């Protein structure tokens, strides 16, 4: 199997996408990507992100591929957990304080910053609507985030998400309390839950 076939295998595994990083991690020189773009096998979607010519752009994967620390959060996580019916036009992403990478220049991304020790609190792997693996905060972490950052989220989305979470059979109140405690918002979270439950 030559390098072009190896790249196409990665593309196939990724539902039509490949990143420069994945190619390099597989021991393949980046020049093979350039050649595949020149001969029309792949198209360059953005810096370091390529797809088949008939691709449907997966914004989630595109954003996630730009930083290993990117965690989908807030309204975007609510949508991915079916706690909001508003398809994101901009994407909420949480990163550690001190981040200074390419996502800061993305017009479609709203960045949130947290202490590094809170970055992975409640992080799970989910599948994007296009079938790619992405890192997202679980429901309880997302509920804590929207309560903590209430002024940064649409009031209607906020209200619906809390009501739907309170009604959900899958809610985990002990996990919610644990996260709230770690984020120093235990009192605020319990006040909201007392009203809703």
Q: Which residues, including other chains, have CB under 8 Å from residue 82's CB and lie 6 or more apart?
A: none
* Domain positions in the chain: 3-57, 60-196
Q: Which fold has domain 3-57?
A: Arc Repressor Mutant, subunit A (1.10.10)
Round to whole Å and give the CA distance between 33 and 21. Answer: 11
Q: Are 183 and 148 in contact (CB under 8 A)?
A: yes
- Can you give the pLDDT of all 197 residues of the chain as single tens digits? 688 899 999 988 887 888 898 899 999 999 999 999 999 999 888 778 888 888 777 889 889 988 889 999 999 999 999 999 888 899 999 999 999 888 998 889 999 999 999 999 999 999 988 878 899 999 999 999 999 999 999 999 999 999 999 999 989 999 999 999 999 999 999 998 888 76
Give the predicted TM-score (pTM) of the model: 0.81
């Amino acid at each position: 199997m030559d390098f072009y076939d190896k790249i196409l295998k990665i593309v196939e595994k990724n539902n039509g996408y490949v990143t420069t990083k994945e190619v390099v991690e597989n021991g393949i020189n980046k020049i093979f990507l350039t050649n595949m773009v020149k001969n029309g096998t792949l198209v360059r979607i953005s810096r370091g992100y390529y797809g088949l010519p008939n691709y449907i752009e997966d914004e989630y994967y595109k954003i996630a591929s730009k930083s290993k620390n990117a965690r989908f959060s807030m309204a975007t996580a609510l949508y991915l957990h079916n706690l909001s019916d508003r398809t994101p036009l901009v994407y909420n992403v949480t990163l550690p304080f001190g981040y200074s990478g390419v996502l800061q220049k993305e017009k479609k991304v709203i960045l949130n910053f947290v202490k590094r020790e809170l970055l992975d609190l409640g992080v799970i792997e989910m599948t994007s609507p296009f079938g790619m693996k992405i890192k997202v905060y679980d429901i309880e972490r997302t509920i804590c985030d929207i309560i903590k950052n209430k002024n940064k989220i649409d009031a209607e989305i906020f209200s619906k998400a809390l009501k739907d979470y309170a009604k959900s059979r899958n809610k985990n109140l002990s996990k919610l309390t644990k996260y709230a405690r770690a984020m120093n918002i235990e009192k605020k979270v319990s006040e909201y839950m007392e009203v809703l439950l």
